Amino acid sequence: MRASNERLVLSLIRRAGPMSKAEIARMTGLSAQTVSVIMRALEQDGLLTRGAPVRGKVGQPSVPMGLNRDGAFFLGLKVGRRAAELVLIDFLGDVKFHRRQAHRIPTPDYVVQFAQQVSGDFLDKLPKAQRSRVAGLGIALPFRLWDWAETTDVGDNGLAAWRTRDIAAEISASLDVPTYLCNDASAACGAELAFGDQNKPRDFLYFYIGDFVGGGLVLDNALYTGKSGNAAALGSIPVTTGNGTACQLVDLASLVALEAELANLGKDTTTLWDRPDHWHLPQGVLGAWLDQAANGLAQAIVSSTCLVDFATVLIDGAMPPDLRAELVRRTTATLHTLTVPGISFPEIRQGTIGYRAKTLGAASLPLSDRFLVDRETI
């Protein structure tokens, strides 16, 4: 665990890029001597590395200090409806190893076995000197997985075991690293905070559209998950279809809804999951889904804004970037057709992570807990 001032320096460099000691002292308010001591300790610990001296000014050349890519590593596990994914990222947040394994039913036994085996494979690939720098494993999964037995065609088939199993403790004991657990949509929002565009407001609402739509909530520059860890369960928000039928957002803005329509027309649905960045779909079906998703998202945004006065909403998901941009455009247009006296509508932007947001969000959990301070401190 890093001391608070060391965390502050690491967080500042992560956000702003390599910096000199003088720049860090000026931006943090810490004394030059204190900054020198901190930087020396972080460099000795292998967390910072020296850049090329910057010359051309009076006095000694300035030496920028940046994050050492190999200073620490983090494992991230995503448990999804169709597959489990595990990544190992470096200190810069870049993916070093990645493994995806499709499944029909994500039982606790299956997930624990997958995490243990693949994590072991990843650690074996690291040079021996780097293995001790793996700082933890984060897990992103939908909460209340046992409810899938009622909402899908898989039946129980072991899903009820999620009620009593603590997979974080089981995996932590086998790998001997700290393990963290988070709702998958909140984890995706955490990836946006840690690795996404840093030019964001202090409060924002976040939608992630995958198999099912979910969300994340950021207040005062920090991810808010609530007492149960399930804050911003946006898929459950009541909305209506275009003909006025009551439903939930999950029924309109989830990829399973698009998949069902394609299947009804006898179209291939594998491109949705095999090529999340490049779809080949009939334009009529895709356009209709975009319209219904935008309709549901606009209603959910209005309902959420009535509770918290957000200036910004981010929409991300497992879809090609051009379609994400089109969904943002249609949602914005639909939002401004609604009349809600007394409410100012927020700006709607694209998220910046995309398909791997949940997996990277899982890996960001040990990174944030062990090395960073929240953005509000910066």
HSE, side-chain direction, 13 A CA sphere, residue 153: 1
Interval 68-93 mean pLDDT: 96
Same domain, residue pair 212 and 153 = no
Same domain, residue pair 183 and 202 = no
Same domain, residue pair 58 and 108 = no
The answer to whether position 295 is within a domain reads yes
The answer to whether position 32 is within a domain reads yes
Residue 159, pLDDT score: 83
The answer to whether position 376 is within a domain reads no
Q: In this structure, are residues 346 and 305 in contact, taking their beta carbons and an 8 Å threshold?
A: yes
Same domain, residue pair 85 and 137 = yes
Q: Total domain count for the chain?
A: 3
Same domain, residue pair 146 and 254 = no
Domain with 142 in it: 73-188+359-371
Residue 156, pLDDT score: 58
pLDDT in tens, 188-222: 999 998 898 877 888 999 999 999 999 999 998 88
User: pTM for this one?
Assistant: 0.89
Q: Which pairs count as long-range contacts for 107-111, CB under 8 Å and 24+ apart, including other chains?
A: 107/157, 107/158, 107/159, 107/161, 108/158, 108/161, 108/162, 108/165, 108/167, 109/158, 109/161, 110/84, 111/77, 111/79, 111/84, 111/141, 111/167
* CATH number reported for the structural domain that contains residue 125 in this entry: 3.30.420.40
Q: What is the mean pLDDT of the chain?
A: 90
Same domain, residue pair 267 and 180 = no
* CATH number reported for the structural domain that contains residue 61 in this entry: 1.10.10.10
Same domain, residue pair 167 and 31 = no
The answer to whether position 378 is within a domain reads no
Regarding predicted confidence, which is higher, 50 or 374?
Answer: 50
Phi first, then psi: give them for residue 48, nearest 5 degrees. -120, 155
